[in-house]
Amino acid sequence: MPAEATRLPDRRYLTDGQGNRTAVVLAVEDYNHLIEELEELEAIRAYDEAKASGEERISFEQAFEEIEQARHTE
């Protein structure tokens, strides 16, 4: 993951009648960036979890083949 400065999105809040924040308004570009970051963090978490499980490792090709076989037997 390349080093980059943390970028805080410009955000606006919607509030209720008492001034309590009820929603955040983000630019689409900022929203998409946040989603990409979350997906990357999820991939890292899944990798760490799989590595820590101690289960047998299989190649991507083997995993893909097993998934395809399971789809055709359903």
Single-letter amino acid, residue 54: G
Which tokens hold the place of 7?
């970028």
Per-residue pLDDT 10s for the chain (74 aa) are 455 556 667 889 999 999 999 999 999 999 999 999 999 999 999 989 988 988 888 888 998 899 999 998 86
Instruction: Give the pTM.
Output: 0.57
Q: What secondary structure, in 3-state letters, does the chain show? A: CCCCCCCCCCEEEEECCCCCEEEEEECHHHHHHHHHHHHHHHHHHHHHHHHHHCCCCCCHHHHHHHHHHHHHHC
Domain ranges in the chain? Answer: 11-72
